[in-house]
Amino acid sequence: MAVGIIAEYNPFHKGHKYHIDSTIKATCEDIVAIISGNFVQRGEPALFKKHIRTKMALLNGVSMVLELPVEYATGSADVFSFGAVNILNESRIIDKLSFGSENGETAIFENIARILNNEPTLFKKHLKENLNLGMSYPLARNSALESYIGKKLSFMNKPNNILALEYIRQLQKLNSNIKPFTIERIISDYNSNNLSGEISSASAIRTAILNNDYSALNSIPNNCKEFFNNINPPLIDNFSQILSYILRTKNPKDISEYADITEGLENRIINTNFNTITELIENIKTKRYTYSKLQKAILHILLGIKKNDQIKNPEYIRVLGFRKDKKYILSEMVKKSNIPVIIGIKENEELLKKEIISTDIYNIPLGIDKGEEYKNGVIVI
């Protein structure tokens, strides 16, 4: 059996290395990571393509890397978790799920997950009262939890903890045999844009690199630094003309079918003039439509991801890479998995259609011809 890790590695840094090493030390098991593809949960293109991030992970202790399909990888925390946890569960080779959290324990997450999954009457009463007061749903839910449990849950505002909670909710819903296992984070602010020595957040590293501040490499393992030579990732605004074309060929009803398009948002998007995606989001954001939610919604239009795509169970497990000396893990998964394990592309084109298209779209600003998915095989180190 192996330990699962759900990640983006955007980019891979020393905090990720610490998490992997600590998990191996505590469990003495192999690590199977499932990572986002070329677009990530923030609703933007990844800093590095998935095959590069796969290499980074394999060079730093991960035994095998799987791909989280794009429809889940770009979704909200519950969608992201739904896809990733289901795939790990269906693989039938994972007995633990390791994740980082601010407090280093799982009991409180398991308790909150049970409340949210079962929705006791008193909790629902508090939630309804908060919504009637005009609170946003996340704020109303957190406040209702605090009222129900009887103590403050300020740590639940942290993105990593929100994801940890969703992982455990999914494990409980599936009645999975996978046990949650947490490693206490050694940086406190997941979304901090400030570098902080050897251990910095992925957000801070991305911000620095995109501003040509290569002091961020202090936070990157030595065996990954070469990947930063001549880095030139696409930015979300590089896709503005493509989005403009798509919107001109669709009517509001068409747009309403895409994931994260809710409550008439399709009309605001279609009726707003813009030169860049950033400008569009700034012009239509409100308290109800946050920047983060809008960026995801826009990306789903761009990639053609519809609401129905995010609620269906994963149909396959795709292997992005593995270590030569750990090939037995792949063999075990092929034998035990409840859903098909995909290694080749050509014989699985229909299942991988969204990945093929999303990679082609990622490559448009880079001037790379379509069909890259067919050229990058499974990474073996």
Q: Are residues 115 and 96 in the same domain?
A: no
Q: Are residues 180 and 322 in the same domain?
A: yes
Q: Are residues 181 and 220 in the same domain?
A: yes
Domain count, the chain: 3
| Higher local confidence (pLDDT), 104 or 203 | 203
Q: Are residues 222 and 91 in the same domain?
A: yes
CATH code for position 14: 3.40.50.620
pTM value is 0.96
Q: Are residues 240 and 366 in the same domain?
A: no
Q: For the segment 198-252, what is each residue's pLDDT rounded down to a tens digit?
A: 899 999 999 999 999 999 999 999 999 999 998 999 999 999 999 999 999 999 9
Q: For the segment 142-175, what is each residue's pLDDT rounded down to a tens digit?
A: 999 999 999 999 888 888 888 999 999 999 999 9
Choosing from 291, 309, 327, the residue where a domain stops is: 309
Cα separation of 255 and 61, whole Å?
42
Mean pLDDT computed over 84-113: 93
Q: Are residues 285 and 245 in the same domain?
A: yes
Give the confidence band of 96 by pLDDT, cuts at 50, 70, 90: very high
Domain carrying residue 7: 2-102+163-234+313-380
Q: Are residues 87 and 193 in the same domain?
A: yes
User: Which token pair is 323?
Assistant: 């270590």
Q: Are residues 223 and 247 in the same domain?
A: no
Lowest mean pLDDT among 181-185, 282-286, 331-335: 181-185
Angle at 62 between CA 379 and CA 193, to 5 degrees: 100
What is the reported pLDDT for 190?
Answer: 53
